[in-house]
Amino acid sequence: MRTSLRSALVFSAISAALLAGLPAHAAGQANASSYQAAVASPIRTADDHKDDAKRKPAEFLSFAQVKPGMKALDVSSGGGATAALLTAAVGPKGEVWAQNAKPNAKLQERVGNATLPNLHAVVADFNDPVPKGTPPLDLITINMSYHDIANTPADRAAMNKRLYEALKPGGLLVIVDNAAKKGAGLSATKTLHRIDEETLVEEVTAAGFKVDGRGDYLHVASDPREQPFFKMDKPDDKFAVRFKK
């Protein structure tokens, strides 16, 4: 296993070097190839791959504009599926912090088994989820968890302000979540585990962020948005919003 992980990291380093000297159109193709390589990385587990068809990890990396060498934070990381994907994509010169409000055994096991020095499990309150001593960040992700944070006593205004402060100028915050009906606000966060996109945008932009892009790669127009996503027997509607500092 460790040999495979070393090979993955070496490949990431070579990919980064090649990308630096390519023209824009070729670099775009190389980025797509490097994202596919990150998806296939041995850093990711069999359980991670089970959700690939639903989560579309290569499209996520592209939307988040992940590049080798980035410093990234994954908020409410759970077992670390997104953090592991980011670690594979940023390569050995990048660094990823996986934050949870309380210890997560699956994440701890993942970090311990992978023996990757650039993936860190962090326990921190949502009011200040940024680990102490981290350098200015290039990227922060919250993958299908903002609605869960809304169900905690956390002060999301304080959290979003702290995330804004933690990013470099031009840094990105990417949030993916389960779509509630338009105008639903926060009314479905606990019952349906969904959130209204515009309500989320209002909260995040109040911290100083600007909307930099919206992704429809997980949009499902046929979803009536009346059930929890985990009770549906077909794909549910999700949205992706990229914010910039």
Which amino acid is located at 69 in the chain? G
pLDDT (mean) for 46-72: 96
Question: Tell me, what's the pLDDT at 27?
Answer: 41
DSSP, res 131? P
Residue 84, both tokens: 């592991």
Handedness of CA 197, 202, 206, 212 (dihedral sign): positive
What's the pTM value of the predicted model, to 2 decimals? 0.88
Percent of the chain residues topping a pLDDT of 90: 79
pLDDT at 70 over 80: yes
Question: Tell me, what's the pLDDT at 210?
Answer: 98
b/e map 134-171, b = 16+ CB within 10 Å: eeebbbbbbbbbbbbbbeeebebeebbbbbbebbeeeb
pLDDT at 4 over 80: no
Question: Tell me, what's the pLDDT at 32?
Answer: 84
pLDDT at 18 over 70: no
pLDDT at 19 over 60: no
Question: Tell me, what's the pLDDT at 112?
Answer: 82
Question: Tell me, what's the pLDDT at 29?
Answer: 53
What is the tens place of the pLDDT at every residue in 22-41?
453 444 455 888 999 999 99
Taking Cα atoms as reference points, which of 108, 99, 90 lies closest to residue 130? 99
pLDDT (mean) for 194-222: 98
Question: Tell me, what's the pLDDT at 44?
Answer: 94
- Distance, first Cα to last Cα, the chain: 38
Percent of the chain residues topping a pLDDT of 70: 87
pLDDT (mean) for 80-84: 97
What is the tens place of the pLDDT at every residue in 94-138?
999 999 999 999 999 988 866 678 999 999 999 999 999 999 999
pLDDT (mean) for 144-163: 98
